Chain A
Amino acid sequence: MALYSEKVMDHFRNPRNVGVIENADGVGEVGNAKCGDIMKIYLKIEDDVIRDVKFETFGCGSAIASSSMATEMIKGKPVADAMQLTNKAVAEALDGLPAHKLHCSVLAEEAIKAALKDYYDRNGIAYDASQFPDCAHCDGCVCG
């Protein structure tokens, strides 16, 4: 029994959408190097559709795989659809994560939402602030 599913390992070994988008329309960064996880998402958005997405991640295997999978799930999708992405959907798409690694999928959802919020803010688009997490779950992250 391996630590991770084949799918996690595939996305970890061959991460999709790795890199940076210069002149991105939205950028989101979540996590903390002290805690060992940072995800940064770059979005290129045209006509409210995510035309391109890239990520950079500092973290464990499941953090890298979660970023990769999450970017695949929103690429080419309307912004409204991307807003609906949940950590649960990311974890399920990876054929599950070990219980103590579920926070990696949470981080992926938050990174994408942070990038979308940045896009809304930059373009003066109104949004419901309650849709964006305030990192209440980060209470557990008290390292450093």
Chain B
Amino acid sequence: MRIYADNAATTKMSQTAIDAMLPYLAEAYGNPSSLYALGQEAKDALERARETVAGIVNAAPREITFTSGGSEADNQAIRSAAALGAAAGKKHIISDAIEHHAVLHTLKKLEKEGFEVTLLPVGRDGLVRAEDVAAAIREDTCLVTVMYANNEIGTVQPIRAIGAICREKGVLFHTDAVQAVGHLPIDVAADNIDMLSASAHKFHGPKGVGFLYAKKGVRLVNLIEGGAQERGKRAGTENVAGIVAMAAALKEAAERMDETAAKLTALRDTLIAGLSAIPHAALNGDPAKRLPSNVNFCFEGIEGESLLLLLDDKGVCASSGSACTSGSLDPSHVLLAIGRPHDVAHGSLRLSLGDDATPEQIAYLIEAVKDVVEKLRGFSPVWRDLCAGKTPFLL
């Protein structure tokens, strides 16, 4: 059996999205900035895509800027809020410890440029507390940026409550919704969101395209100069085919959202129950306030990369927060932030289910993970010491 269980990394493009994009590669390939019919055909498609995307998150079309993806949208949102803040003498930004690096690294840069950043802790459940946000807001706070759903442990943050606090205090609120758009119902008006980032390839669209929602009146600064595209806020000839495909993918995902979420939530909970039966294993993140597709576990006594390689041999594509897979010496900052010690964080596994997941796949995944964990523990000196009582079990 072959199971792609890494949908938080990227998803397979839907046939609907592929069908939508092809005409804009082969036939209607004009530049939307050109005045002749071929160009205007592309321009029309671009604007229809904008209307579709805007409608799904309850925004106005002019509030949507197409980007190269989630990272660019995060960078532009944060830079824009920082520029607005600096102009008003406000140079304090609030975020949290489990954000994506597209947010954290941008904030690090801003710190070097004289901004002060408060990173709120999360609880062991991987959730940001809205009251912590309220308490951290100061006179000079220009931005609160909290992700909608975490990419590693899947926890869904209290966005509406945080948004309401920011609205009341008059502070801009951005959310990196890369993992949430197309999977959870999002309403930027009801959720009190001023800026939101999204990426097409997380909801069965193509890679290299995403969007930034910025509420009317929030003035964006350019990351890329050079043309009048995207109302002058993002230069470069638009990725028309990619944008059209993104809109088609998002429309389809939105139409099926309730059905998919219900199905995946049930499968997710079966998978969590199955993996919980493995001794000295623990679920990472709140069991209920999490994405319908996300399962993330730590297994004591083993290391994540070897876990992934053996799962690959069994046809399972998954991911881990171990240092070996992150390319650094430290394991995932998210797992450390929810209080997992280094030793345990190295033994993490993320399974992110696809829309087409089946009960048979879940049963196979449970058995495959059990087998692999048992095999690796069989020759782990760490596991031996734990079992011998030389070191205490942490899970």
Contact = CB atoms under 8 A, between A and B. Distances in A.
Interface string A63-75: 1100000000000
Contacts of A34: 341-343
B379 A57 contact: yes
Q: By DSSP majority rule, is chain A's interface helix, strand, loop, or mixed?
A: mixed
B38 to A, nearest CB: 40
A83 B306 CA distance: 28
Nearest to B327: A100
B306 A33 contact: no
Given A33-B343, A34-B343, A35-B329, A19 B306 contact: no
Contacts of B341: 34
Given A35-B323, A140-B329, A60 B303 contact: yes
A70 B123 CA distance: 44
A142 interface: yes
B342 A57 contact: no
B301 interface: yes
A36 B306 contact: no
Name the residue in B303, B313, B327, B331 with the highest tally of chain A Cβ atoms < 10 Å from its Cβ: B303
A131 to B, nearest CB: 24
Interface stretch (B14-22, B68-76, B245-253, B380-388): B380-388
A61 interface: yes
Interface stretch (A10-18, A45-53, A89-97, A117-125): A10-18
A122 to B, nearest CB: 20
A143 B383 contact: no
A56 B342 CA distance: 20
A132 interface: no
B306 A141 contact: no
A18 to B, nearest CB: 5
Contact of B380 (A13, A57, A60, A61): A57
A60 B329 contact: no
B45 interface: no
B301 A58 contact: yes
A40 interface: yes
B330 interface: yes
B309 A29 contact: no
A113 to B, nearest CB: 17
Interface in A1-24: 9, 12-13, 15, 18-20
B382 A33 contact: yes
B68 to A, nearest CB: 26
B381 A58 contact: yes
A54 to B, nearest CB: 9
A78 interface: no
B305 A60 contact: yes
Contacts, number: 75
A59 interface: yes
A141 B346 CA distance: 14
Contact of B305 (A20, A61, A140): A61
Interface in B283-330: 301-306, 309-310, 313, 322-324, 327, 329-330
A64 to B, nearest CB: 6
A34 B306 CA distance: 16
B327 A59 contact: no
A58 B323 contact: no
B381 A56 contact: yes
A63 B324 CA distance: 10
Contact of B306 (A12, A39, A143): A12
Interface string B349-389: 00000000000000000000000000000111111100000
Given A38-B382, A59-B303, A61-B305, A144 B327 contact: no
Contacts of B303: 36-37, 58-60, 63
Closest 6 CB pairs of A and B: A60-B305, A60-B324, A34-B342, A56-B381, A33-B343, A36-B346
28 contacts: A9-B309, A12-B306, A13-B310, A15-B379, A18-B378, A19-B379, A20-B384, A29-B381, A33-B343, A34-B342, A35-B329, A37-B303, A40-B381, A55-B379, A56-B384, A57-B379, A57-B380, A57-B381, A58-B302, A58-B303, A58-B383, A60-B303, A60-B306, A63-B306, A64-B306, A140-B329, A143-B330, A144-B342
Interface of A: 9, 12-13, 15, 18-20, 29, 33-40, 55-61, 63-64, 100, 140-144
Interface of B: 301-306, 309-310, 313, 322-324, 327, 329-331, 341-343, 346, 378-384
